[in-house]
């Protein structure tokens, strides 16, 4: 106890002094090459993500949200962590995109570097009637936890189970303020928006990169989910919502993560809800500035960068047109042979999804994306793993009809999709 308090106050002092030196800079360095799974450090080579043995890594996985108001991964009042990770593993998925909110880190700083207990977090998010009930269900399903378990203890346990079952963990900063994402008016849309304090964001990235360094399964982190126009802040929108400022803030974020953990990949997400990244790989001007993407702007970590894009063109009726959108806005980066590709990157479709009925997956959108990912040999994370959220947009125990799993996370919602669509997609893409 004393030991951990001392460690915490040291980190706190360093942070206060304005130089957030990660504890790694004074502890002994971790070995650079791991002889066991996942064989870090990871790096990028052209359009491929690779482990230290040179194996190509392609993520085939699901989003597992932990950025809602309770600020722990969803579903744990219904199933144990081991049961959920076993479900993921059972069909061959090899990765999760685990989301968190910067607010969790802000609260840790505000609370003398102590994280909140899960018990308190359930009460704060769900109220004094439902909070204790759901917390009791959480304990019943996950009996290794107790009244002193913190939110980060739960993240740690998810990561530990993923390591045990060899599921890669991609840690994603989804929001600043913990809540359902995303709208252009939710105050979390862009650097400097109402709840999107840039220095807290950078501090949060450093903290999580440092914290998650002990997770064997961690192989990548993102900077921020779905950047978007700050429509409730006209001045910010006019002055800053552009590729020039994107490039400034993105470099600050990547250098924070890389300084804390040089072994992992870092995902960059684009504008308009992360639907396009064109200037990055085409090497055109970061407008309204004149700067262009340059590896030299990412000292020592240009070979860690991966592009992520999202697609929710669920009403698509023309597959050729959907695929050309995906290519133009992102996947062209995987084609160094395209005359307009100046810098090649791996590209991961880190969100797409659709209602888990027995018919939806047979329509144009889902079949088209599946065939495209297979053709591109690209990674992906479907939205979403779970069949419910502790709370979403004010509704507790919110039913998620897009969830791969049923409301209580016990069974596949559409067995026909899992057998007819999802398993083939995994087989056609997943590597390592
Ligand atoms: C309570 O749970 C934490 C992890 O969440 C664990 O480290 C600790 O040992 C547990 N305490 C007891 C008394 O079981
Ligand atoms: C961001 O938060 C910090 C505290 O972490 C505060 O000092 C600073 O004023 C905030 N910045 C803005 C622009 O609100």
Q: What is the mean pLDDT of residues 275-300?
A: 98
Nearest ligand (C-alpha, residue 153): 1
Which residue in 87, 86, 84, 37 sits closest to 57, CA to CA?
37
Q: What is the mean pLDDT of residues 124-128?
A: 98
**Separation of CA 78 and ligand 2 centre (Å):** 38
**Separation of CA 207 and ligand 1 centre (Å):** 22
pLDDT of 300 over the 60 cut:
yes
Which residue in 390, 389, 386 sits closest to 413, CA to CA?
386
Cα 198 from Cα 320, distance rounded (Å): 39
pLDDT of 11 over the 80 cut:
no
Cα 111 from Cα 9, distance rounded (Å): 11
Q: What helix, strand, coil percent values describe the chain, rounded to 5?
A: 40, 15, 45
Q: What percentage of residues in the chain have a pLDDT greater than 90? A: 92
Give me the pLDDT at residue 33, please: 76
**Separation of CA 199 and ligand 2 centre (Å):** 7
Give me the pLDDT at residue 25, please: 41
- Do the Cβ atoms of 190 and 119 come closer than 8 Å? no
Query: Which pLDDT band holds residue 12 (cuts at 50, 70, 90)?
Result: very low
DSSP string computed for 21-85:
--GGGTSPPPPSS-SSTT-S--EEETTEEE-TT--EEB-EEEEE---STT-S-TTTTTS-HHHHH
Exposed, middle or buried by CB within 10 Å (0-12, 13-18, 19+), for 98?
buried
Nearest ligand (C-alpha, residue 76): 1
- Do the Cβ atoms of 88 and 385 come closer than 8 Å? yes
Which residue in 172, 168, 185, 218 sits closest to 67, CA to CA?
172
Residue 197 CB–ligand 2 contact under 6 Å: yes
Exposed, middle or buried by CB within 10 Å (0-12, 13-18, 19+), for 148?
exposed
Question: What is the number of the ligand 2 atom nearest to the C-alpha of 192?
Answer: 13
Query: What residues contact residue 406 under an 8 Å CB cut-off, 6+ apart?
Result: 387, 412, 413
Query: What residues contact residue 321 under an 8 Å CB cut-off, 6+ apart?
Result: none
- Do the Cβ atoms of 345 and 306 come closer than 8 Å? yes
Q: Who lines ligand 1 at CB under 6 A?
A: 145-146, 148-149, 153
Give me the pLDDT at residue 74, please: 99
Bridge partners of 351, per DSSP, are: 310
What average pLDDT is seen over the chain? Answer: 94
Give me the pLDDT at residue 32, please: 62
Tell me the pLDDT tens digit for each residue of 193-218: 999 999 999 999 999 999 999 999 99
- Do the Cβ atoms of 430 and 54 come closer than 8 Å? no
Least confident interval from 20-29, 107-116, 157-166, 195-204: 20-29
Tell me the pLDDT tens digit for each residue of 33-55: 789 999 999 999 999 999 999 99
Give me the pLDDT at residue 34, please: 82
Q: What is the mean pLDDT of residues 337-348?
A: 98
- Do the Cβ atoms of 30 and 318 come closer than 8 Å? no
H or E element in which residue 368 lies: helix 364-376
Cα 254 from Cα 17, distance rounded (Å): 22
**Separation of CA 12 and ligand 2 centre (Å):** 17
Q: What is the mean pLDDT of residues 311-319?
A: 98
Query: What residues contact residue 170 under an 8 Å CB cut-off, 6+ apart?
Result: 59, 61, 95, 96, 97, 98, 219, 220, 221, 222, 267, 350, 381
Cα 270 from Cα 249, distance rounded (Å): 12
- Closest Cα to atom 1 of ligand 2: 197
Least confident interval from 5-9, 76-80, 426-430: 5-9
Residue 199 CB–ligand 2 contact under 6 Å: yes
Q: Is residue 355 classed as helix, strand or coil in its secondary structure?
A: coil
Query: What residues contact residue 73 under an 8 Å CB cut-off, 6+ apart?
Result: 64, 65, 66, 81, 98, 154, 155, 158
Q: What is the mean pLDDT of residues 9-14?
A: 39
pLDDT of 379 over the 90 cut:
yes
pLDDT of 75 over the 60 cut:
yes
- Closest Cα to atom 7 of ligand 1: 149
Give me the pLDDT at residue 5, please: 35
């Amino acid at each position: 106890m004393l030991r951990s308090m001392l460690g915490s106050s040291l980190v706190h002092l360093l942070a206060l002094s304005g130089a957030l030196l990660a504890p790694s800079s004074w502890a002994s360095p971790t070995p650079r090459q791991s002889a066991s799974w996942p064989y870090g450090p990871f790096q990028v080579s052209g359009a491929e993500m690779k482990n230290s043995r040179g194996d190509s890594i392609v993520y085939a996985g699901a989003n597992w949200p932990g950025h809602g108001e309770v600020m722990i991964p969803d579903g744990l009042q219904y199933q144990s962590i081991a049961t959920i990770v076993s479900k993921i593993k059972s069909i061959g998925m090899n990765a999760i995109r685990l989301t968190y909110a910067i607010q969790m880190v802000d609260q840790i700083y505000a609370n003398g570097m102590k994280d909140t207990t899960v018990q308190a977090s359930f009460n704060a998010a769900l109220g004094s009637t439902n909070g204790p009930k759901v917390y009791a269900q959480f304990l019943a399903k996950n009996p290794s936890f107790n009244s002193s378990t913190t939110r980060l203890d739960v993240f740690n346990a998810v990561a530990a189970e993923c390591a045990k079952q060899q599921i890669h963990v991609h840690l994603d900063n989804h929001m600043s303020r913990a809540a359902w994402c995303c709208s252009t008016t939710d105050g979390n849309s862009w650097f400097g928006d109402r709840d999107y304090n840039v220095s807290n964001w950078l501090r949060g990235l450093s903290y999580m990169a440092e914290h998650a360094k002990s997770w064997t399964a961690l192989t990548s982190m993102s900077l921020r989910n779905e950047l978007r126009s700050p429509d409730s802040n006209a001045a910010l929108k006019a002055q800053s919502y552009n590729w020039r400022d994107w490039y400034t803030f993105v470099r600050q974020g990547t250098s924070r993560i890389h300084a804390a953990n040089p072994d992992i990949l870092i995902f960059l997400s684009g504008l308009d809800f992360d639907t396009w990244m064109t200037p990055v790989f085409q090497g055109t001007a970061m407008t309204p500035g004149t700067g262009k993407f340059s590896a030299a702007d990412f000292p020592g970590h240009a070979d860690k960068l991966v592009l992520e894009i999202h697609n929710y063109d669920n009403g698509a009726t023309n597959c050729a047109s959907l695929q050309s959108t995906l290519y133009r806005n992102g996947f062209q980066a995987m084609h160094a042979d395209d005359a307009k590709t100046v810098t090649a990157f791996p590209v991961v479709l880190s969100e797409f999804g659709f209602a888990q009925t027995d018919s939806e997956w047979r329509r144009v959108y889902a079949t088209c994306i599946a065939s495209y990912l297979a053709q591109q040999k690209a990674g992906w994370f479907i939205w979403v793993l779970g069949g419910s959220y502790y709370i979403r947009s004010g509704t507790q125990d919110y039913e998620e009809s897009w969830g791969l799993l049923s409301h209580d996370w016990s069974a596949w919602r559409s067995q026909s999709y899992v057998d007819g669509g999802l398993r083939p997609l995994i087989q056609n893409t997943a590597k390592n």
